[in-house]
Copies of this chain bind each other. A is one copy, B any other.
Amino acid sequence: MAMSWRHLIVGSPLRTAEQVHQRLTKTKALAIFSSDALSSVAYATEEILFVLVAAGTAALNLSMPIALTITGLLVIVAMSYYQTIHGYPSGGGSYIVAHENLGVWPGLVAAAALLIDYVLTVAVSITAGIVAIISAAPELLPWRVHLCLLAILLIVWGNLRGVRESGTVFALPTYAFLFVFLALILTGLIRLATGSLSAASVPPLPVGIGGSEALTTLLVLRAFASGCTAMTGVEAISNGVQAFQKPEADNAGKTLIVMATLLGVMFLGITFLAHALGVVPVDHESVVSQIGRQVFGTGPLYLALQGATALILVLAANTAFADFPRLSSILARDGYAPRQLANMGDRLVFSNGIAALAILAAALVVIFGGQTHGLIPLYAVGVFLAFTLSQAGMVRHWHKTQERGWRVKAAINGLGAVATGVVLCVVVESKVTQGAWIIVLLIPALVALFRSVHQHYLDMREQVSLPEGEMSRWSHLKVAKSHKVVVPISGLNRGALAALQFSRSLSDDVTAVVVDVDAAATTRLRDSWEAWGIDIPLVVLESPYRSVARPLLAYLEATDRREPERGTAVVILPEIVPARWWQNLLHNQTTLLLKAVLLFRQEPNGAPRVVINVPYYLRS
């Protein structure tokens, strides 16, 4: 029943053999791998303005210089990743590059940074996507958080089914966004040049917004740090080189250049328009929407802009739903994360990773009330830490290969590492009090967790594995001839009878015990025991505190101590199983409790206690 519902929702199971590897054309690959990077132009400009406006609207004039600096940085980072693509044509995620070239610790730091980054990609993209919808339909404002959660749920659903139709379906929104966004910038520039749009140099400050802080260097750096979120997702192509058609590295490199160019043009264009039109960030409408309404009016083009923006942001969140489960499954395979994360579900997707990401992102959305602004200070830290480690790893990589021209290549990646490293410091320094401290604490905590998980798996393997020297011993392993058997019962019913019968097939040394929590019931039991003439001794255990487990454990311990050479007593638990699962709520579940207590209680002598479960099924 539960099974068939599940199949209806996420689809029927897929065979392992059905796993397919599709190769993408450059056009499709651009759509799939660039949604994360390109979609960030929908909020990056706004985040710069949001910080600057705290120092009054005059400070907004700084937005263009900041945007130009970020674009310069983008060129450096894109060059660095172009080289990563050629150095790691098999796919060079930051974890792999840092792990292989810098060692275990930097690799784990990169992994922690990336996992956090993926969670934030989902939260930031979804909240920004919902803002795009709310800007066009302000009556939805009170449902902001609900809409975010609904969007996450839809993405989870798609991913649990295993989205197969990747290319085509995903290409449409990305190209729609590209088209309408470039049209916005072009129309805006033309209308400004022809004077059909009035430019404002310094707009008046809306009531209740900004103007409370001085224009300090810290504030400018903070605005820069917020704008750097425009660069998130640039690394995506380098992770997926193998998905390109042959020659993979060449095609991927070209696609990266196209993506970076588009990203730079769109980011500069929208920032210029925001500056020229005197747009000030407000709570209920995004900056892009404000520009859209001034340039396009409120007609179909404006609605297309908002729709395409929302769609590409949802798509960007969707990419994290591929990346997070994949990275966590790699970590699980390497023994740094719980093994369940490496399990492929029915539909050939890493269901546990998908669920974990959705829960974390949904929690962030709820905690921050669906507000993108609050999430931004957390976002950039992980991204730039992963950038820096990955580029530094590439420097080591070129040094190790010593291939032709390795010095130039190392220099380019070195420049990338230094530049992103400096930005990382700026981001941490300027945003640490705004929330970045959470990430600064979380990354080492995650790394420590990875290490202790790893240690646990190593310990376990050592404890359970069979050393070569013991190999010949199977035939000599002693087997107890006759077990001591204890059958706890609460009354003489068919369930208890079945357990007692089974106990007889196992051993001649059987004792039935009853914990005396209800004197009347115990008397009834004694009477029927005699009436039935059962030739198994019945022991009654006192229980002054009405506990069933404690007297039983004490009895078992005493039994084991009497004849230690015969090993621990075997416990046979009768269990009445109702026909329907909910009927379990109507039973005391003493058996379930005893099973748990017996399993998790290590006996003083360290010997395992074997527990036998004899079920008795009720008809419905």
Contacts and interface: CB of A to CB of B under 8 A. Distances in A.
B587 A339 contact: yes
A191 interface: no
Given A463-B618, A528-B466, A17 B544 contact: yes
Task: Give the interface SS of chain A, mostly helix, strand, loop or mixed.
Answer: mixed
Interface in A553-600: 575-579, 581, 583, 585-589, 595, 599-600
Nearest to A504: B479
B613 A544 contact: no
Contacts of A465: 493-494
Contacts of A618: 459-460, 463-464
A576 B466 contact: no
A367 to B, nearest CB: 16
Interface string A469-486: 001101101011101000
A157 interface: no
Contacts of A15: 544-545
Contacts of A344: 546
Interface stretch (A166-174, A383-391, A531-539): A531-539
Contacts of A14: 545
A548 to B, nearest CB: 10
B616 A613 contact: no
A322 interface: no
Nearest to A616: B608
B13 A547 contact: yes
Nearest to A502: B610
Given A14-B545, A544-B17, A612-B610, A586 B474 contact: no
Contact of A494 (B463, B494, B497, B501): B463
Contact of A612 (B544, B576, B611): B611
Given A339-B588, A466-B494, A615 B608 contact: yes
A16 interface: yes
Contacts of A481: 505
Contacts of A463: 494, 618-619
Contacts of A583: 456
Contacts of A459: 618-619
Given A338-B585, A346-B547, A610-B614, 10 more contacts: A339-B586, A456-B586, A460-B578, A460-B618, A464-B495, A466-B493, A466-B497, A477-B497, A479-B505, A611-B615
18 contacts: A16-B545, A17-B544, A338-B586, A339-B587, A456-B578, A456-B586, A457-B586, A459-B618, A460-B576, A460-B578, A464-B493, A464-B494, A464-B576, A466-B493, A479-B504, A575-B599, A610-B613, A610-B615
Interface of A: 13-17, 338-340, 343-344, 346, 453, 456-457, 459-460, 463-466, 471-472, 474-475, 477, 479-481, 483, 492-495, 497-498, 501-502, 504-506, 528, 531-535, 544-547, 575-579, 581, 583, 585-589, 595, 599-600, 602, 606, 608-619
* Top-6 shortest CB links A-B: A464-B493, A13-B545, A15-B544, A608-B615, A479-B505, A611-B613
